[in-house]
């Protein structure tokens, strides 16, 4: 029997590429996002069966209901990937942008993960993948809520791993560096931007190997290691230099 996966945030970037590569591996898919037409366009390119659900993860009650519905329509699901996320440059600390980020990246993330956890507990096994970010390691003056939201995502998954260690449920925390997707288009300072195909190939390898925490692409693991070592003053100095250099380009 073929494996089945749900991708939340499948309409573009990393999520759409995950759908393409998982489909090539024979997975049947549940594709979730707000932009239904993009999901339909993607569906046509896939070689395996897929179902589409239009979900806005900010609308917690509706999103929960729709995801539960999708799971029962698919009958059995082995893997649920919560990839939905937004990044907004917010140097002026506009409160609306901060709240929007928290709604999608924190509230929406927890709501979707909660449905996945309850489902996998009910069937006695499963694999949950959350797409966090290397950004969750340090603060950012350009997008404070984004980095904080990704720190939340990673720590939340560490908590789930502790809770679910005896439940035969795998929890994988993926922490991408910069990946070439619509999220970073037009953004300045795209240092070491990585092709989405390569990043997703490594995400799938992490899933197959049931890894706990993985940086993609591998070179971003090195940046993560160095970034954790730096004292705050030095980190901020390098970060601000990098930003002002990119703004001059
Ligand atoms: N690209 C990078 O450099 C990078 C680095 C680190 C981490 N990440 C993380 O990787 C994940 C995917 O990002 P990406 O780079 O592939 O960006 P993207 O191309 O903009 O994709 C974001 C996905 O999230 C979905 N989404 C956003 N708001 C949603 C909502 N309210 N309800 C349901 N779905 C929603 C979008 O679908 P709709 O708009 O159709 O709803 C889209 O499918 C994000 O969590 C991001 O934080 C990306």
Give the position, in ligand 1's atom list, of the atom nearest the Cα of 134. 6
Q: Kindly state the tokens that stand for 133.
A: 């970010």
25 lines ligand 1 (CB under 6 A): no
Question: Is the pLDDT assigned to residue 187 strictly greater than 80?
Answer: no
* Range 140-160 burial, b when 16+ CB lie within 10 A, else e: bebbebbbbbbbbbbebbeeb
Q: What local confidence, expressed as pLDDT, does residue 240 receive? A: 85
57 lines ligand 1 (CB under 6 A): yes
18 lines ligand 1 (CB under 6 A): no
Averaged pLDDT of the chain: 94
Domains along the chain? 4-248 (3.40.50.720)
Alpha-carbon gap, residue 124 to 135, rounded angstroms: 33
- Cα 18 to Cα 46, 65, 103, 170: the distances in Å are 11, 24, 23, 18
Q: How many CB atoms lie within 10 A of CB 79?
A: 22
Question: Is the pLDDT assigned to residue 188 strictly greater than 70?
Answer: no
CA dihedral 74, 56, 58, 129 (to 10 degrees): 40
178 lines ligand 1 (CB under 6 A): yes
Q: What local confidence, expressed as pLDDT, does residue 3 receive? A: 96
pTM greater than 0.75 (yes/no): yes
pLDDT, average across residues 91-104: 97
The Cβ-side half-sphere exposure at 133, using a 13 Å CA radius, reads: 23
Q: What local confidence, expressed as pLDDT, does residue 189 receive? A: 63
Tens digits of per-residue pLDDT, 118-153? 999 999 999 999 999 999 999 999 999 999 999 999
């Amino acid at each position: 029997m073929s494996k089945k996966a749900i991708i939340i945030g499948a309409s573009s970037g990393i999520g759409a590429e995950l759908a393409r590569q998982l489909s090539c591996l024979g997975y049947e898919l549940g594709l979730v996002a707000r932009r239904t037409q993009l999901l339909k366009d993607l569906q046509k390119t896939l070689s395996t069966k897929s179902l589409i659900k239009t979900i806005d993860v900010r609308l917690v009650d509706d999103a929960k209901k729709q995801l539960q519905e999708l799971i029962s329509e698919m009958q059995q699901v082995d893997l649920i990937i919560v990839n939905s996320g937004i990044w907004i440059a917010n140097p002026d600390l506009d409160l609306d942008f901060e709240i929007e980020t928290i709604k999608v990246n924190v509230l929406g993330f927890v709501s979707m993960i909660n449905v996945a956890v309850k489902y996998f507990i009910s069937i006695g096994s499963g694999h949950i993948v959350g797409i966090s970010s290397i950004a969750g390691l340090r603060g950012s003056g350009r997008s404070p809520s984004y980095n904080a939201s990704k720190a939340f995502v990673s720590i939340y998954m560490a908590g789930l791993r502790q809770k679910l260690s005896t439940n035969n449920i795998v929890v994988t925390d993926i922490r991408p560096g910069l990946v070439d997707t619509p999220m970073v288009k037009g953004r300045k300072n795209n240092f070491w931007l990585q092709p989405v195909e390569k990043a997703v190939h490594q995400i799938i390898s992490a899933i197959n190997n049931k890894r706990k925490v993985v940086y993609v692409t591998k070179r971003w693991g090195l940046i993560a290691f160095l970034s954790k070592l730096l004292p705050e003053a030095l980190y901020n100095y390098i970060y601000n230099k990098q930003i002002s250099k990119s703004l001059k380009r």
